[in-house]
Amino acid sequence: MPRLRKVYRNRDIVMVTSRTEEGLPLLPYSFVNLIIWSSLAKAKELYPVDIICFCFSTNHFHMLLKVINPEDFCGFVGYVKQETAHGINRLLGRRKKTIWEEGYDSPVVLDSEEIFNRIAYILTNPVKDKLSSSIESYRGVSSFQVNKRKCVAIARSSISPLNDPDKPWKEEKEKSARLLDLNNHEIDLEVDLLSFKDCFANTARMSDLDVLKKIQDRINIYLSRLEPIKIVSSQRESLRRPYIPKAFGRRTICLSTIPKLRKRFISFYRSLVEQAKQAYQAVRKGFHLEFPPGVFLPTLPRAINMIRPELSVLS
């Protein structure tokens, strides 16, 4: 299936999901958590976005983000994936190994009711995945009850290989203490659960307390749908445990509880993609055609190749 083109606009609310290629490399050991928190904080410092909420599971993450600058948005997601991948590879003593699947799903969320659904889905993910008996007791990385957190900026060079990646719990305290000892620079990571509030007319009229109450009510609804479960312990698992995901969600353009709104956005999206395609084809033929606002410019052919096509084999 071809990748969906990315279209982001200022103030769009986007649900981002990405999963690892194999294994469970994001098990909630404290040293893994330190690397993830560091990656998030450094990414936000370099590529400003508004973080509404997020949760990292053992082999995937979900984030709900508000776009400030569309170009920064892609940089933020890419940096988080890049730094966590480097950190995991260093823990496992590997020079290069792909951790994350290529790309990520990033539908735009079009209405406030769907926003409430997405927040509840993300924050209850550890319970749904049988990693925790409650949202509060989850040992992994989640934005639940986080407004501002001081995150230690972990340098790649300070991450040394585990002595035994198959029994990482044996050196968890020592490895975490070592990382904290070698890194003393802290970055404030801000999470604004209500940053979507002014993007929709109905929530803009509500008080912050009313919006927070609605979020909590939606979380309670999601939790009530989950049957009593036996928690799958992740406190004594190998970082090299083989695991290949069986279920794959379909990548989507947008999410909405309002069918008309979804159809309207898909129509707009298809029109924009077609305009961008025509502009790109014109440029390849040597003509100038403006790309429509809201799309990311593709890598254009070098001018010398359009003048002397035979030199394109050298590029």
* pLDDT tens-digit series, residues 183-232: 999 999 999 999 999 999 999 999 999 999 999 999 999 999 987 766 66
Decide if 289 contacts 282 (C-beta within 8 A): yes
- As a whole number, mean pLDDT of residues 290-302 equals 64
Choose from 39-43, 124-128, 165-169, 281-285 the range with maximum mean pLDDT: 39-43
25 or 294, greater pLDDT = 25
- Better-predicted residue by pLDDT, 228 or 53: 53
Q: Is 250 left (phi over 0), alpha (psi -120 to 50) or beta?
A: beta
Helix ranges, the chain (H): 30-46, 70-91, 112-123, 125-128, 172-182, 201-204, 208-224, 259-284, 303-307
pLDDT of residue 247: 64
pLDDT at 233: 58
Task: State residue 299's pLDDT score.
Answer: 63
Q: What is the pLDDT of residues 1-18, one digit of tens each?
A: 456 778 888 999 999 999
pTM (2 decimals)? 0.88
Q: At residue 302, does pLDDT exceed 70?
A: no
Q: How confident is the model at residue 277 (pLDDT cuts 50, 70, 90)?
A: confident
Report yes or no: 228 and 185 within 8 Å, Cβ to Cβ.
no
Give the domain ranges of the chain.
13-257, 263-314
Which residue carries 């230690």 as its tokens? 152
CATH class of this structure's domain 13-257? alpha beta
Tokens of 10: 């200022």
Evaluate whether 304 touches 19 at the Cβ level (below 8 Å). Answer: no
pLDDT above 70 (res 248): no
Compute the distance between CA of residue 290 and CA of residue 90 in angstroms, rounded to an integer: 44
Distance of alpha carbon 156 from alpha carbon 35, whole angstroms: 9
What does the pLDDT look like over 61-103, one tens digit per residue?
999 999 999 889 999 999 999 999 999 999 999 887 889 999 8
Amino acid identity, residue 98? T
According to the model, what pLDDT value does residue 251 have?
Answer: 79
Query: Is there a contact between 282 and 291 (Cβ–Cβ < 8 Å)?
Result: no
